[in-house]
């Protein structure tokens, strides 16, 4: 305390100057309309900038939560698309019933591990059997196909990436609906390129044409996969079409695991057909 009083007495003239200066400014602002308006405008601008900085910082801190909310909302919206619904009523005579029920639902997950430079690449997500994830489910992002669920534990799941030598996805050309097998072209381990095989060579294919899921595999129809970059013949009857993928596997953070209401029934029926051959 003694040192504080010594400090104040030593610089008393300076503190008095500051005090009288502040009082003078206050009196000028209170008794002059122009100065009062200028001061208010300046203070509003200053306070506004401070609030803006605080708001920007707060938004940055909340990015993780915001991303989660947006992903959950996207999952819900995807489940409402017509491609995620089915019609269980039979058309009779000329009566068409448009009643649709949800066939595909989506489980949001965050990627916690990812590889893209190997011949066979995998991802790990932070959702497992406790959240309804099962082996064999399809996985997509907001831009396209990611892969297929391979192994599941209560809290995690591994995904066989589209960037895997054994991954085969049924995909079709948007203009002609001709479908084939989408595989990863492992040349130079380019994570942005794939190949659409087994397209009949009489099909006219144009560079820039969209490639989408056919609906014949784990994925709903019409999910965008990528665009045609070039074509080449594979033998005498089929084309190999090079595709630039929409997904950037370097930057994916959130994915949607597709839950097909009829997957088990379909697999059982197809399994029985194989046994009976």
Tens-place pLDDT, residues 97-136: 445 567 888 888 888 888 888 889 999 998 899 989 999 9
- Residues 245, 183, 126, CA angle at the centre, nearest 5°? 70
The two structure tokens encoding residue 139: 């996985």
Q: Which residues are bridge partners to 193 per DSSP? A: 244
> What integer is the mean pLDDT of 143-164?
92
Domains of the chain by start residue, with CATH: 66-85+102-261 (2.40.10.340)
In angstroms, rounded to a whole number, what is the distance separating the alpha carbons of residues 54 and 49?
Answer: 9
Share of the chain above pLDDT 90, in %: 24
The two structure tokens encoding residue 108: 């949001």
Tell the residue number behind the tokens 């190949």, with chain if given: 195
What DSSP state is assigned to residue 215? S
Of 153, 140, 147, 97, the closest CA to residue 121 belongs to 147
Of 179, 159, 166, the closest CA to residue 247 belongs to 159
**3-7, 178-182, 186-190, 207-211, range with the lowest pLDDT:** 3-7
Q: Which residues are bridge partners to 211 per DSSP? A: 173, 226
Angle between helices 33-61 and 63-79 (to 10 degrees): 70
Tell the residue number behind the tokens 């479908």, with chain if given: 179
């Amino acid at each position: 305390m003694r040192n504080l009083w010594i400090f104040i007495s030593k610089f008393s003239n300076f503190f008095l100057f500051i005090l009288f200066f502040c009082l003078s400014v206050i009196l000028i602002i209170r008794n002059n309309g122009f100065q009062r308006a200028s001061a208010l405008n300046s203070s509003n601008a200053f306070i506004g900038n401070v609030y803006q900085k605080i708001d920007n910082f707060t938004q940055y801190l909340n990015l993780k939560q915001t991303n989660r909310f947006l992903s959950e909302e996207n999952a819900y919206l995807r489940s409402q698309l017509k491609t995620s619904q089915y019609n269980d009523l039979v058309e009779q005579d000329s009566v068409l019933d448009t009643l649709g029920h949800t066939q595909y639902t989506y489980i949001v997950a965050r990627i916690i591990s990812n590889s893209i430079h190997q011949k066979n690449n995998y991802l790990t997500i932070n959702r497992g059997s406790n959240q309804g994830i099962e082996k064999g489910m399809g996985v997509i992002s907001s831009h396209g196909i990611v892969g297929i669920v391979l192994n599941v534990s209560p809290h995690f799941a591994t995904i066989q990436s589209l960037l895997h030598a054994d991954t085969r996805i049924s995909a079709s050309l948007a203009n002609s609906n001709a479908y084939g097998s989408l595989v990863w072209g492992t040349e130079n381990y380019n994570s942005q390129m794939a190949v659409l095989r087994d397209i009949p060579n009489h099909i006219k294919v144009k560079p820039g044409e969209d490639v989408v899921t056919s609906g014949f595999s784990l994925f709903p129809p019409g999910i965008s996969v990528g665009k045609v970059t070039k074509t080449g013949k594979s033998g005498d009857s089929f084309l190999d079409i090079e595709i630039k993928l929409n997904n950037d596997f370097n930057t994916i953070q959130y994915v949607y695991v597709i839950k097909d209401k009829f997957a088990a029934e379909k697999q059982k029926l197809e399994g029985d057909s194989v046994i009976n051959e």
